[in-house]
Amino acid sequence: MASNPFTQSHNGQMPLRTTGIPLALIALAASLVRGQGAVWSQCGGIGWAGATTCVSGSVCTVLNDYYSQCVPGTATTTTPTSPPTTTGGSTTTSTATGPSSTCGTPAPGSGTLQLVGVNIAGFDFGCNSDGSCTASAAYPPLTQYYGKDGKGQMTHFVNDDGYNVFRLPVGWQFLTNNVLGGSINQTNMAEYDALVQTCLGTGAWCIIDIHNYARWDSGIIGQGGPTNEQFAATWGELAAMYKDTQKVIFGIMNEPHDIPDINLWAGSVQAAVTAIRNAGATTQMILLPGNNWTSAETFISNGSADALMKVVNPDGSVTNLIFDVHKYLDSDNSGTNAECVTNNIANAWEPLTQWLRCNGRQAFNTETGGGNTASCVTFMCQQIAYQAQNSDVILGYVGWAAGNFDVSYVLSELPAGSGSSWTDTTLVAQCMSPKAGAQKGSTS
Ligand SMILES: *[C@@H]1O[C@H](CO)[C@@H](O)[C@H](O)[C@H]1NC(C)=O
Ligand SMILES: *[C@@H]1O[C@H](CO)[C@@H](O)[C@H](O)[C@H]1NC(C)=O
Ligand SMILES: *[C@@H]1O[C@H](CO)[C@@H](O)[C@H](O)[C@H]1NC(C)=O
């Protein structure tokens, strides 16, 4: 072990990457001074102390116990307007075909997210945010490789909590055993595949996540570092291995950041998508990551949305090309603090869901989390309830993290126990577990 995985931050990213107060919060504060909520602002819910009336032309609408919102119109609408169109991850996602007729109208989601899960970390240990990964530091979260009981964790999460997806981060260097441009090392791959097969064995969907921040040893893919061809070759090999496995989801890259040219990055993503499809994985979901640590908040404003919109399947369609977004709830959006300060709705989820709906696309929140604290229970439950109300465009969320972390890790979602007897952490038990009821706004 080159580094102690039990003490590393959730993904090695810098703890401080936000400055100032989000504009949306300033706008909200301004509306509070006037005593009436602006259109799309919060106007009620458990713990809400702000304005409870809305400006003319909008109506305060109860989305769930935790969140009421000023929605354009004059009629009162208190229930989701559409019935569920898909169920519990049993199908692939709806086909995106272009602007939907409901563009602009709020919350037509079913109230139930399709995919809800947990990151099972370990094979990414030793990876830093400059894309340097020490292959020998990868730490399989499986007891047969002397790691934690990832099999027991996932089995518990599925059987006792109702989770149905796991994200399995892995360093690129581990896959090729440190050879840039090399083919996948079968010895190392056998270990990673053991985790994939264990995940699949629970009946869940399984996300392969190359956890390299768009880089290899500081060099940015397609922009001075590895070539697009080298990146695409790794994905082509992986896709060939899992081309007949419908429940494998291809997560192109974890948290690109500080990418000089977002359009060139979209070209790198396109190269990977093309390689995956041409390897025979023609129908599986592929997750497309934007800049700024895949921030859900700046996905549109920083140009990721426009650039990644152009990524297509070989047939020109965008079927099952899903945008990958991350969001934490702490004061600096780093996922390193125990306390949460925001539900991210006004600054991130609301603008994102409207953009997705207007453009006929979907996103998947593959990293989110918080400490096991009362503030995180409050805000995380609100975030999940909002996502579920918008489940037509938000597929679901994956919590960070279980796997090989220590139980003392600030964002630990490790259940305590063994065998068939497990106890969840506070945040999982009260919000993040599908059984907690946060999606319907009725937490236990
Ligand atoms: C990155 O996203 C955070 C919020 O998630 C935002 O505060 C920050 O300004 C963004 N940085 C850039 C360069 O867009
Ligand atoms: C594969 O990786 C292992 C280390 O896990 C190494 O010993 C072996 O030489 C590599 N195989 C090839 C063909 O490079
Ligand atoms: C993204 O944010 C960075 C830093 O603020 C800025 O330099 C860059 O121009 C932005 N890109 C786009 C496409 O808005």
For 97-139, how does the pLDDT look when each residue is reduced to its tens digit (9 = 90+)?
344 445 665 556 678 999 999 999 999 999 999 999 999 999 9
Q: Is residue 297 annotated as part of the catalytic site, yes or no?
A: no
Average pLDDT over residues 218-247: 98
Model confidence at 85, pLDDT cuts 50, 70, 90, reads very low
Q: Are 412 and 148 in contact (CB under 8 A)?
A: no
- What was the pLDDT predicted at 47? 64
Residue nearest to atom 7 of ligand 2 (CA): 187
Which residue spans within 174-262 are E strands per DSSP?
205-210, 215-216, 219-220, 248-251
Find, among 366, 365, 369, the residue nearest to 409 by Cα.
369
Q: Which atom of ligand 3 is nearest to the CA of 262?
A: 13
Residue 307 contacts by C-beta under 8 Å, 6 or more apart in sequence? 262, 263, 265, 266, 290
Q: Is residue 255 annotated as part of the catalytic site, yes or no?
A: yes
pLDDT beyond 50 at 193: yes
Residue nearest to atom 11 of ligand 3 (CA): 302
Which residue spans within 232-376 are E strands per DSSP?
248-251, 286-289, 321-326, 363-368
Model confidence at 15, pLDDT cuts 50, 70, 90, reads very low
- As given in the structure block, the two tokens for residue 415 are 């259940």
pLDDT beyond 90 at 22: no
Residue 382 contacts by C-beta under 8 Å, 6 or more apart in sequence? 45, 66, 67, 343, 345
Ligand 3 centre to CA of 402 (Å) is: 33
Ligand 2 pocket, residue 223 CB under 6 Å: no
Q: Which atom of ligand 2 is nearest to the CA of 188?
A: 5
Which residue spans within 94-160 are E strands per DSSP?
115-121
Q: Are 36 and 51 in contact (CB under 8 A)?
A: yes
Give the residue, out of 259, 302, 306, with the most ligand 3 atoms within 8 A of its beta carbon, to mutate for a pocket test.
302
Residues 286 and 93: their CA atoms lie apart, in Å, by 11
**Ligand 3 pocket, CB under 6 A:** 262, 302-303
27 or 292, higher pLDDT: 292
Residues 111 and 183: their CA atoms lie apart, in Å, by 43
Residues 378 and 383: their CA atoms lie apart, in Å, by 9
Ligand 2 pocket, residue 145 CB under 6 Å: no
Q: Are 172 and 234 in contact (CB under 8 A)?
A: yes
Helices (H) and strands (E) in the chain, counts: 11, 15
Which ligand is the nearest neighbour of the Cα of 186?
A: 2
Q: Output the CA angle 139-144-156, nearest 5 degrees.
A: 85
Residue nearest to atom 9 of ligand 1 (CA): 18
Q: What is the pTM of this model?
A: 0.81
Q: What is the DSSP string of 156-187?
A: HIIIII---EEEEEE-HHHHTTT-TTPPPPHH
Ligand 3 centre to CA of 78 (Å) is: 39
- What was the pLDDT predicted at 46? 63
Ligand 2 pocket, residue 188 CB under 6 Å: yes
pLDDT beyond 90 at 48: no
Which ligand is the nearest neighbour of the Cα of 191?
A: 2
Phi/psi of residue 190, nearest 5 degrees = -60, -35
For the beta carbon of residue 217, count every other beta carbon within 10 angstroms: 16
pLDDT beyond 50 at 25: no
Q: In what order do the strands lie in the sheet with 58-64?
A: 42-44, 67-72, 58-64
Q: Rounded mean pLDDT of the chain?
A: 85
Phi/psi of residue 254, nearest 5 degrees = -80, 125
Residues 317 and 319: their CA atoms lie apart, in Å, by 6
Residues 293 and 125: their CA atoms lie apart, in Å, by 18
Average pLDDT over residues 29-48: 58
Percent of the chain having pLDDT more than 70? Answer: 79
Which ligand is the nearest neighbour of the Cα of 179?
A: 2
Active-site residue among 191, 297, 350, 367? Answer: 367
pLDDT beyond 60 at 319: yes
For the beta carbon of residue 185, count every other beta carbon within 10 angstroms: 18
- What was the pLDDT predicted at 91? 34
Total number of residues shown for the chain: 444
Q: Which atom of ligand 1 is nearest to the CA of 22?
A: 7
**Range picked from 30-39, 261-270, 412-421 for highest mean pLDDT:** 261-270
* Three-state DSSP state, 146: coil
Give the residue, out of 16, 295, 328, 349, with the most ligand 1 atoms within 8 A of its beta carbon, to mutate for a pocket test.
295
Q: Are 328 and 213 in contact (CB under 8 A)?
A: no
Ligand 2 centre to CA of 185 (Å) is: 6
Residues 124 and 126: their CA atoms lie apart, in Å, by 6
Residue nearest to atom 3 of ligand 1 (CA): 18
Ligand 1 pocket, residue 134 CB under 6 Å: no
Ligand 1 centre to CA of 333 (Å) is: 9
pLDDT beyond 50 at 313: yes
Residue nearest to atom 10 of ligand 2 (CA): 185
- What was the pLDDT predicted at 57? 78
Instruction: Report CA torsion sign: 63, 68, 72, 77.
Output: positive
Average pLDDT over residues 232-255: 98
Residue type, 66: Y
* Three-state DSSP state, 37: strand
Look at the block and give the residue holding tokens 């590895």: 226
- What was the pLDDT predicted at 88? 33
* Three-state DSSP state, 215: strand
Q: Are 361 and 41 in contact (CB under 8 A)?
A: no
* Three-state DSSP state, 191: helix
- As given in the structure block, the two tokens for residue 329 are 């709830």
Q: Which atom of ligand 1 is nearest to the CA of 301?
A: 14
Q: Which atom of ligand 3 is nearest to the CA of 307?
A: 13
Ligand 1 centre to CA of 326 (Å) is: 12
Which ligand is the nearest neighbour of the Cα of 260?
A: 3
Q: Are 376 and 370 in contact (CB under 8 A)?
A: yes
